[in-house]
Amino acid sequence: MHIAQATVWARGRSKRVPMRSVILLACASITGCTASAEEVRPPADQIFFPTGAAVSPDDAFLFVASANSELRYDSGSITVMDLGKVDQISNDWTTSQTIPDGCSQDPDHIETLICDETRFIMPNTGARVGNFATDIAVQDFKSGGPLRLIVPTRGDPSVAWIDWDGKKLSCNPSGDNFALCDENHRLAYVHNDPDVGLLPDEPFGAFAGKDFAIVTHLTTGAVTLIDSPPGGNASIADVLTGLFAADPLTGLRGSTGVAGRGDSGIVYVGARSEDRIQTLTVGRPVNSDIAPPYIIPEEYFFLDAVGGTAGGSTDTRGMAFSANGDRMYLINRRPPSLQIYDTSLDAGGAPRNKGIAATDLCREASTLAVMDAGDGDRAYVTCFQDGQLYVVDPRGLASVEDIISVGRGPYAVTAAPTRKKVYVTNFLEDTVAVVDVSPTSPTHDRVVLRIGEPKAP
Amino acid sequence: MKRLASLCLLMIAACSDTTPTGTNLLNLDRPVDIAFACFGGLRITNGQPATVDQAVVTSAQPTTSCDKRSEEPVDTGSNGSNGPPPGPPTPPGQEQLHDAQHPTAPIIPDTAWYAFILQSESGTVAIATWLTEPSTKFMGGEVTVQDANPLTPGQNSISVGENPVAIGTDVTGCKEVIANAGSCDMSILDVTSALTAGQTAIVDRLDVTTPNGGKLRSKPAAMQMQPPGGTIGVTCPAGATGLAYVAYPSCHAVAAIDTATGVVQQAITFDASGVPTIVPDGNISCPDECGGEPITAGTRPVTLSLLFDARVDREVLAIGADNSNVVSIVELDPNTSLPLSVPTRIALEDPNSNLGVTSLAVSPQIGMGGNQSMINDDNATGGQSQFVYAVATDNTIRVADILTLNRECDTQIDPRYLHDETSIKKLSCLPLGDPTLPRRAGARGPGIELIGDAIPTSVAITQVKEVAGDLRPKDSPTRLIGYFAFATAANGATYVINIDNDDKADVVDPEDPIGTQIPLDIAHQLRDSVLTRGLLATELDPSDPSGKKTLPICDTLGPDPDATTGPAGGARSTDQPGLTLPTGTLAAEKVVVLPSIRQVTCTGADEPNGKPVAETEFAAPVGPPPPGQVNIRDQVFPDLRGLRDDETWTFTWEGSLSQDDPDTAIDGPAVRESQMTVDSFGAHIVDQSKPFCDAGVEKYDIVQLRGCDPSLGDADCALGYTCFVHPQSKVTGLGACMLKDEADRLSNACKPFLTTLRRYTVGKSATGQLDLLPRKHVLRTSPVDGCTDDAQCQTLANYAARLTSSLNPVDDKTAADPHMWSCRIDPDRAPIAGTGKRCIEACSTDTDCDDGTVCDAGTCMESVVPPQACVNAAQRYELRAGEAFAVVGTKSGYVHPIIADAGGSCVKDPAAKPNQIGRFTLNPPACDPTADPGTGALPGGGFEPNPCFETIDETEYQPNWANLAGGSCTLGSPGTNLVMRPSDAIKFRNRGMTLDIVDPTYPGDAVCIGDRGANLGRIPTVPPGFQIVFRQTAGFSPLIVQITPAYPVKAVIGPTQSVWVIDEGDYLSTSITTPSTSGKVFRFEGQSVNTISVLQ
């Protein structure tokens, strides 16, 4: 008896030959040998080529990933900034023009104060990770316990997992300050076994759920599942490939943006190479303490509401949900647009996933954050090429409300709703721009503080 | 007055510097709005008669001047008279007086149109120009972008303000008024300075103030200008003239601002409940948004449409808010344009209380109806109407009559209920909520829906006059005469909507029912793009000397559906519907035993004796029906708009509820993946994304586990799992993902699971969980009325076994079925009629059962409840209709009425339309002969069942067995006979089709194939996977203007009723021949929508 194979998906799991794993393991070991050289140890109180940024759920801390893109140091880093102190100085500046020692008024933007990052980086809290970190996802276990940072790094490639107990980032049992994450905290192999599989190249975006994280891969289209149970170690549990079609021009596949819809367990992944949004869930075997979790591909939908007659709506980048999960905001580069999807649940409890609005954007938009600072949601979009932060009002058909110059090479943006501020990492000038987004503030949508002296071009 | 420096000069049309801007030069930077001005030579007459000594200047002037010059030339000399040659009309006083008799009279330079294109991000205005010509002269490409600063490389624009959102021309045509959201003020651009060579453009900033002296510092969202006026021949005043209506969403107000002073003259404010009030003194209070003052909640007006209709001397302003479903209509004084009253508030249907309006367009007062290819506003048979079109946040375009009815119009009434409606007045604005006029199934609301997921962004309404000598056929999609709306959408498409098509019938014409279907005829429908809708299967009658008379023919499939000229004709199947049989299930010679689409008799010039054609085919009879017959195709395809342009329909027995492939996302993946759990209640499919009600899963449907494909290695499984195939499994290609370390260990424990077909029955369907029941193996030929005893089952099993034989029964020696079949009730399948029993395979051991089934308690099972450890991997599966045909279109998908109830269980939506259905069984309830044949409505209310069982005439060729009574199968002469016989049939209605599927069951043959003499009863012969397939072509295909914007944000009506589409979006080209752009502007004429100018 024969059952026809109806599916035409070319989906599969990524596995590589052990020999390659061995070679790369050796390379990683060699790289690791240079890590102990004190002269190339990165400074713990500075940021350098900042990429990823994330705010702790209580809006108390800002985690910043320094990518070390010049390879000046032996590693990248994750530093922790005290947002209370950021608020204090920025508020003193905006309300009374107070300029603390070591700070100065930006000569080109007089509403902006520039302060060295040292005063904001909490001493003895950071950690070192691989080079070319791309993102930070904060895993909130919601049990009063520690947070966990998931940090993809392209250099190794690997994914670092770092616990935050409120005082210190920990990814090395040595307990040393600013320690390099050890091998247990640098995930490079599926099930921590080189024979099972290797983390695909170019880890890019990350999203953390309550007991897992999803990492996308820019040049392969693969999606990696990190099993990260509360109180337990993180490990690579599954790698799914073939979710996205290859770009017909370049042949490349790429998974890019990733975001989760609240606590529903549904994760949305965008693509660099086609106009598809794939949703995923994570399956956990029942009554088995040995079977690892796995990625379950769910429904997908196409970004055909925008740009249909001009060549489709491809190259998705940042994705973010509104606080209640009813709206998904998504950046596309072709055509450059911010698209808004109705992800509210229908009567059956499934997200509707219908395009409802869009607006034109800058050309090289990278990431976005969504926050309600008191006047409804706004999407904040970084424009790497133009050095701008677009503020999009999603009401009606959506419209660009403000365009803020934030610095050179803005990449990541993250928001602190209770502080009514967003924070933008400026990759090309080693700064973090602090933007006041309070709708009732005289400095609404202005960069009020630049953390770090802008590096010369 | 603040004069901005370093901006300047422009050529005028009279100058020689008219180098067109090539399309590869990029000038625009995200345009968002456009306004039009008239500039050129002007004799200063100050309203007096023209004289040769009056001064002539080059100046901005009222747009009415260019309007006049753009009219069609009037030939004042007729037929050999000595009158002047035809030439462009000239406004009074502006005639060219320079001639031989008046050599000193100044020559009036040419005058041209100018477009001021507002660019929001850069805060600039780009300028384009074209000649004053009638729209019929427009050939595309005439409009060129100008350079505001020749001294700076590139094509430059004029800086005007911060984040400007709207631009408009003042009454006199001398100033452009710009509303700035970035600085909460206005800019006034002097047109003459902007367009005069050598001058610097003058831009003044204008604060908006209230009469009591307060500054209005709210952010504007939209602006509409007082209609053009002014006297041609008067010098431009120093300041702007007339009113600008500006919408301030955060102030919950619309202000009428004197553009000369910036003072608010009057305003319309909205209170907390959204009720508008006219503030006659203009003193309103708004938060200083640009100063950071907090704003309050309330109605947010964001869109305006102002229209002065000179024909009836009515001027209205429509106001829409992005957080209100109410469109307010303000009556304006036609002389002053100031508000008179707000008599009308149109509450758009808003069941979820979340509707908003983002774009508006008010039509002129229209005389509805007429098909004489000319605008007939003053004597229209349908009476007078005036409409407002509102782009709503439910992604539809709502329509309301604002003349007499003052209510919303329903544009989604199911055409089945309008087929015989002849009141043009009624059809012009159909009521909402009339139970006799229900909406078509699946309609999102009363508004006009664009195709697919298109998000409308803007709408504009224009009048298109007839073109003298127009040679286009009357039913040409691009031949527009009457009133039309143009709607832009985020997907880049610009759709055309018929408001009053004066070129076409306004009701269904019984003589041409296919060519005059309701969606083609009535107001507020997307315009169709398919040619010759009324085309019939005919040929010219050679005996008719006039060469006009036609005769019906049958041997035609209609126009080539893949013709390069596009589809033509009415909806139909492209061929006779096909039957697809799974391999090894039925001999090809016996397809006669299977259900099929009904055939009717076509009699034509080429088939004088008649031939059977499927009721879906082009040759199925249409047109005025002979007595006793019906318009078959008109009945089969009763709602053109309910049909997608071209799609393939499959009716699959126990077919998948989704046919999505990697390129489609209609019903969800055809093969899904979820977790499977097993507990004391049985097995369950559990999915966090809760897809099952949306997928349309019903109780007794089938879950077919697909396991993994062992030919792909372990690629179907998660890392750490392997695709395991039990060595004793006889099911080809069906492995199971199991932990690598555990597969061998679990081999025995999981054997029953691993060796079955893994086909389960859905015991209960809920949003996130399907309860699975092991499925008993039922005989395919089990009677639809239930079996009576085991012996009958054994007989039918033998019959089933013989279905694969190509021999006639009299010659068929196929061995009897070796299995045991028992006539029993299966509580795990849907109840059936009659005895309620099915023929179920019985057994003592597994060897008694068919391959892929196992023996469990005396019954052969297609699946078992497995131990949890066997199914810990993700399970791939299909959802299939249980004992029913699944009706799926490649574009429409699987349409169903299933929703979740309050408890999350999947149930039939009690509010679902009767034709919102996508499946039928072989034995549905009987049709009601009293029901309306078109709609299925019953005289006393309600509907006949859908689907329903009927007896209907079927036309077919039958073998002419010469000696059937003698027990031999010899064909006589002719070998076949054309027969019309009464047949069991299933009438099935969905959104776009009403079909009859004949022969759902078969009585069996006694002697020869097709003799129907076995008297076995109503026996199903359909094997799982059997399909009836046809390609339906020439469904609704909207007319889309051939422009390619990346993100069109606005449609604007320009001079000569031209249509301008503002494309704000970037286009990132991947071609070396096509540049990337930062927005474009497209212009086309209603009279020729595919003649286009592109500015970029």
- Minimal C-alpha gap between A443 and chain B (Å): 8
What single string gives the DSSP state of each residue in B754-780? HHS--EEEEEEEBSSEEEEEE-B-B-T
| Surface of B (326-355) touching A: CB under 8 A | none
Tell me, yes or no, if A440 comes closer than 8 A to chain B by beta carbon: yes
Contact B923, B883 (CB under 8 A): no
Q: What's the pLDDT score for residue A288?
A: 78
Please give the residue that has the higher pLDDT: either B4 or B958.
B958
Asked if A310 lies within 8 A of B1044 by C-beta distance, the reply is yes
Task: List CB contacts (< 8 A) between B452 and chain A.
Answer: 304
Cα separation, B624 vs B552, in Å, equals 12
B552 pLDDT more than 50: yes
Asked if B690 lies within 8 A of A333 by C-beta distance, the reply is no
Task: List CB contacts (< 8 A) between B742 and chain A.
Answer: 290
Task: List CB contacts (< 8 A) between A335 and chain B.
Answer: 1046-1047, 1065-1068
Please state the rounded mean pLDDT for residues A359-380. 94
- Minimal C-alpha gap between A223 and chain B (Å): 12
The edge-to-edge listing of strands for the beta sheet with A314-321 is A314-321, A327-334, A336-342, A354-360
Task: List CB contacts (< 8 A) between A196 and chain B.
Answer: 719-720
3-state secondary structure of B165: strand
A339 pLDDT more than 90: yes
| Surface of A (298-317) touching B: CB under 8 A | 298-302, 304-311
pLDDT tens, B686-725? 999 999 999 999 999 999 999 999 999 999 999 989 999 9
Highest mean pLDDT range out of A153-157, B542-546, B566-570, B756-760? Answer: B756-760
Tell me, yes or no, if B919 comes closer than 8 A to chain A by beta carbon: no
B36 pLDDT more than 80: yes
What does DSSP say about strands B175-180 and B164-169: parallel, antiparallel, or unpaired?
A: antiparallel
B87 pLDDT more than 80: no
- Minimal C-alpha gap between B429 and chain A (Å): 26
pLDDT tens, B991-1034? 999 999 999 999 999 999 999 999 999 999 999 999 999 999 99
pLDDT tens, B720-773? 899 999 999 999 999 999 999 888 899 999 999 999 999 999 999 999 999 999
SS3 sequence of B778-831: ECCCCCCCCCCCHHHHHHHHHHHHHCCCCCCHHHCCCCCCCCEEEEECCCCCCC
Q: What's the pLDDT score for residue B141?
A: 85
Nearest chain B residue to A244 by CA: give it. B662
Tell me, yes or no, if B1086 comes closer than 8 A to chain A by beta carbon: no
Q: What's the pLDDT score for residue A350?
A: 94
Task: List CB contacts (< 8 A) between A249 and chain B.
Answer: 1070
- Minimal C-alpha gap between B305 and chain A (Å): 17
**Which residues share a beta bridge with B42?**
B57
Task: List CB contacts (< 8 A) between A6 and chain B.
Answer: 656, 670-671, 706, 878
**Residue A24's pLDDT band (cuts 50, 70, 90):** very low
> Which of B951, B962, B952 has its CA nearest to residue B1011?
B962
Q: What share of chain B in percent tops pLDDT 70?
A: 95
pLDDT tens, B432-479? 999 999 999 999 999 999 988 799 999 999 999 999 889 898 889 999
- Chains A–B, number of C-beta pairs less than 8 Å apart: 266
Q: What's the pLDDT score for residue B72?
A: 86
**Residue B359's pLDDT band (cuts 50, 70, 90):** very high
Q: What's the pLDDT score for residue A142?
A: 77
- Minimal C-alpha gap between A310 and chain B (Å): 5
| Surface of B (766-805) touching A: CB under 8 A | 767-768
> Which of B278, B411, B307 has its CA nearest to residue B365?
B307
Asked if B493 lies within 8 A of A308 by C-beta distance, the reply is yes
pLDDT tens, A108-132? 899 999 999 999 999 999 999 999 9
Nearest-by-Cβ selection for B734 from A3, A287, A441? A3
Tell me, yes or no, if B151 comes closer than 8 A to chain A by beta carbon: no
Asked if A335 lies within 8 A of B1064 by C-beta distance, the reply is no
Q: Is the peptide bond before A292 cis (omega within 30 degrees of 0)?
A: no
Interface predicted TM-score (ipTM):
0.92
Please give the residue that has the higher pLDDT: either A52 or B77.
A52
B15 pLDDT more than 60: no
Contact A120, A81 (CB under 8 A): yes
The tokens of A313 are what? 């709506």
Tell me, yes or no, if A110 comes closer than 8 A to chain B by beta carbon: no
**Residue A20's pLDDT band (cuts 50, 70, 90):** very low
Q: Indicate the range of A28-37, B413-422, B611-620, B857-866 predicted with least confidence.
A: A28-37
Best residue of A192, A268, A298, A388 to probe chain B, by most B CBs closer than 10 Å: A298
Nearest-by-Cβ selection for B720 from A191, A283, A300? A191
Tell me, yes or no, if B851 comes closer than 8 A to chain A by beta carbon: yes
Phi, psi (degrees; rounded to nearest 5) at A119: -70, -20
Nearest-by-Cβ selection for A279 from B393, B689, B741? B689
Q: What's the pLDDT score for residue B140?
A: 86
| Surface of B (441-460) touching A: CB under 8 A | 452-455, 457
pLDDT tens, B633-686? 999 999 999 999 999 999 999 999 999 998 999 999 999 999 999 999 999 999
**Residue A312's pLDDT band (cuts 50, 70, 90):** low
pLDDT tens, A176-221? 999 999 999 999 999 999 988 899 999 999 999 999 999 999 999 9
- Minimal C-alpha gap between B147 and chain A (Å): 24
What single string gives the DSSP state of each residue in B900-922? E-TTSBEEE-TT--TT---EE-S
Nearest chain B residue to A290 by CA: give it. B739
Cα separation, B247 vs B300, in Å, equals 8
| Surface of B (638-667) touching A: CB under 8 A | 656, 661-662, 665
B500 pLDDT more than 70: yes
Q: What is the mean pLDDT of chain B?
A: 92
3-state secondary structure of B1035: coil
Distance between terminal CA atoms of chain A? 69
Look at the pTM and tell me if it is higher than 0.90. yes
> Which of B943, B244, B980 has its CA nearest to residue B612?
B980
- Going through B382-492 in order, the beta strands assigned E by DSSP cover 384-385, 387-392, 396-401, 407-409, 448-449, 456-464, 482-489
Asked if A288 lies within 8 A of B869 by C-beta distance, the reply is yes
Cα separation, B147 vs B8, in Å, equals 9
Tell me, yes or no, if A292 comes closer than 8 A to chain B by beta carbon: yes
What single string gives the DSSP state of each residue in B220-244? P-EEEEPPP---TT-PPPSS--SEE
Contact B653, B1025 (CB under 8 A): yes
